[in-house]
Every structure is written in C-alpha cells, then in structure tokens.
C-alpha cells in the first residue's frame, strides 16, 4: 500500500483514538504465494513459498491501560476487548489479533493495553493469507512496541498457534513463516517439520508468475480444511501401526499393496496419494526453476492441481475450469493455491502470452459462471517490517 494511504490511516487512527504525546508506529506484513507443496505444511512437508506485495498494515500505540481497542478500516468498526479473552461473537476479525496476545502471554510476556488500526489490500478469501498476515504483523508490532525482542521465526509460530487455538483453524506453519521471514526477489524452501529453511533466487527470464482470482470466496473454518487434516492424521496412525518408522505422512514411501494392507479408507488412501506425490513434484519444481526448465515446472503445477482436485478434493468447479482452460490456451503451468474451495490460481507462463490469456479467460469464465475474473501481477517482497511515517 502507498504512503498516502498510510498517512490517511494515521489521521484516522488519531480521529478514533485521539492524539497523545506518543505517535503510533506503522508495521506491514505481506501476502504470500506458494509455488509448490500444497496441503503438506501441517504434515511435515517441504514447501516453496514467497512473500508478495499485497499487504496488511497496522498502526499500534500503547494506551497505558488494561483495555485493547481495535479498529478495522475494512469493516469500519471499532471493538473494545478486555480480559478474560473470548472469541468475539460478531466481529471474528478481532480473534486473529486477540489470539496473538494470548499466545505471547502464554510465553511468559505481559502485553499491556494498546490501540490498533488495521487496513489491508489482500483480497479476503483469495487464498493469499490475509489472516496469517494479520497474525504476524500483530505479533511483530507487539514485540517491537513493547520491547519484547521476539525473533521473527518465533512470531510465525505464535501466529500459527493463535489460528489453531483461538481462531480454531488447524492450519500449518507455512503462511505465517514466509510472511515473517520473506525476502525481496527470493522464495524459501521450508521444512515444515524442523522449520529449517533456505532462500532461493530464481531468474524467470521471459517467463512470469501471476495470479487469477476466481472470485469464489472461501472460509477455511467453514470448509473441509479441518476434515482433511483429520483424515491425514488418521491415515498416518493406521500406517504407523504396521510401519512405525514413519513419523510424518509426507515421509511415507509404500507400495499400493502395503498401503491397502494398512486398512486405509478410500478417502485416506487418496489423501495419502496426494501428500506423497507432492513430495516428488516439489523436488521437480525446485530443480526446474534452478535449471530454467520451465516446462518441467509447469507440468508439475498442472499435476499438483489435478491431485488437489481429485485426490485431496479441495478444488471446485470454478478453479478446475480456470486451470483446464489455461492448459487448453497453452499456458505453461497453473494450479489452485491456498486452502482451496475457491480463491486464486497461480499461473506460470511466458510474459508475451499474458494479453491473450487475459482476454480469453475473462470471456469464457463470464460465460460459464456469470462471474468476473481478476488478474494480479505481483512482485516478490520482504516479510514483516516496520515503516517510518
């Protein structure tokens, strides 16, 4: 978001919460994409995410009381929160902030009262992690404003715990982690079991990644996201009874006969197939990007979408249509990203192909679903940070 909007938000902050001798501080956290490694970040898998230049920003100022006041520009409402903390019955957006306070205090820190204004331009329900960005920027803003000195990697874990425990979505660590540690022009490969990670810089030359928003909104809590996680945990439990060496579903490398002998349900078998095949596709994508073998990368993206649609069953008619139409138009690769059931499709293609794709896709999607498509170009950006105002 631009500096003019930040200045407007500062003025709005002071209108709502009043002027004092101390100025609020401005913090910003990006959105994210994940190139490969979908629905494996809560199963010990390796993922390849990058931070991108959509963002959530907060202005925070201590108020020297025990009361917490949050204002959302998006929802145009101010909510007052006091202890004991409970999920808010009518303004669930506040739970992502309150949950972070709960988790920081669980570490032994004290978080005094503060005033906070939040604004953002990450399309909600797009699968670009607006919720994780809010958690991470809140955690970082609290740590910096109160001198807590919490490392960014730890802030990512705090954000995940807030979403798991207070919000109630059993998400993995990937979104919060890349939003915390992202670096301009780099993605990371993150081992979600050990949280070890490394930066990767890729030169796409005459190719580009971009996003297409299906404009079908999803809410992970109301979708089958938590059910998929339970199915994966159940599958692993059954496999471990016969093959105790496997600590994570991502590590399983059994034959079809061996998997069937474990007594998996048809659903558990499909989930396992997605997770273990995604491991091989992730290797293929990292190698392909490093060697500029973009057709290999594109094939892996299409294969991941097929697996997410048929084996993990988290796609929908709209995103399936977008990906199949892109394939028919000659795009190099595409797949749904995020939790599923709508949201965005990530596309890899040649830059000079964009205008044709844009025109053809918008027309065919409107005819099929009576919905508009939005195309997002993006830059890979830094993770959470403070901005001077």
User: Can 41 be counted among the known catalytic residues?
Assistant: no
Name the burial class of residue 61, with classes exposed (0-12), middle (13-18) and buried (19+) by CB atoms within 10 angstroms of its CB: buried
Token pair belonging to 16: 């709502």
Residue 254 CA to residue 260 CA, distance in Å, equals 10
Question: Taking each helix axis from N to C terminus, what angle separates 130-145 and 95-106, rounded to the nearest 10 degrees?
Answer: 50
The residues pairing with 376 across neighbouring beta strands, listed in sequence order, are 211
Estimate to the nearest angstrom the gap between the alpha carbon of 308 and the chain centroid.
16
The most distant pair of C-alpha atoms in the chain lies apart, rounded to whole Å, by 70
User: Could you give the C-alpha distances from 225 to 136, 177, 313, 366, 369, in angstroms and in order?
Assistant: 21, 19, 10, 28, 24
Alpha helices by DSSP H, the chain: 3-17, 95-106, 130-145, 152-161, 174-181, 225-242, 256-261, 266-290, 294-310, 317-328, 354-369
Q: Which of 175, 203, 251, 317 is catalytic?
A: 175
Closest among 205, 178, 181 to 33, alpha carbons compared: 178
> What residues act catalytically?
175
């Amino acid at each position: 978001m631009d500096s003019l909007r930040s200045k407007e938000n500062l003025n709005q902050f002071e209108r709502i919460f009043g002027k004092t001798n101390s100025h609020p501080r401005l913090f910003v956290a990006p959105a994210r994409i994940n190139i490969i490694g979908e629905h494996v970040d809560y199963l010990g898998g390796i993922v390849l995410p990058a931070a991108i230049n959509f963002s959530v920003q907060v202005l925070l100022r201590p108020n020297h009381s025990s009361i917490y006041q949050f204002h959302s520009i998006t929802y145009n409402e101010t909510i007052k929160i006091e202890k004991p903390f409970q999920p808010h019955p009518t303004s669930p957006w506040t739970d992502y902030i309150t949950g972070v306070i709960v988790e920081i205090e669980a570490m032994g820190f004290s978080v005094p009262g503060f005033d906070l204004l939040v604004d953002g331009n990450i399309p909600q329900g797009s699968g670009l992690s607006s919720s994780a960005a809010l958690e991470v920027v809140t955690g970082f803003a609290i740590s910096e404003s109160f001198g807590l000195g919490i490392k960014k990697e730890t802030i990512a874990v705090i954000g995940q715990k807030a979403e798991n425990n207070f919000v109630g979505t059993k998400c993995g660590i990937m979104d919060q982690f890349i939003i915390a540690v992202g670096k301009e022009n780099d993605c990371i490969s993150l081992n979600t079991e050990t949280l070890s990670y490394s930066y990767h810089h890729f030169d796409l030359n005459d190719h580009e990644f971009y996003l297409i928003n299906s404009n079908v909104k999803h809410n992970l809590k109301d979708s089958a996201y938590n059910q998929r996680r339970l199915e994966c945990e159940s599958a692993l439990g059954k496999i471990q009874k016969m093959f105790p060496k496997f600590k994570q579903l991502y590590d399983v490398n059994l034959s079809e006969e061996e998997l069937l002998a474990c007594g998996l349900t048809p659903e558990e078998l499909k989930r396992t197939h997605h997770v273990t095949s995604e491991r091989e596709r992730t290797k293929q994508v990292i190698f392909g990007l490093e060697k500029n073998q973009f057709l290999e990368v594109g094939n892996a993206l299409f294969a991941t979408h097929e697996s997410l649609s048929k084996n993990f069953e988290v796609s929908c008619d709209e995103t399936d249509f977008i990906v199949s139409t892109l394939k028919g138009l000659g795009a190099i690769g595409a797949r749904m990203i995020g939790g599923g059931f709508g949201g965005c499709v990530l596309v890899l293609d040649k830059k000079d192909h964009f205008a044709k794709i844009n025109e053809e896709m918008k027309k065919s999607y409107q005819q099929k679903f009576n919905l508009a498509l939005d195309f997002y170009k993006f830059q890979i950006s830094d993770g959470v940070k403070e901005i001077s105002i």
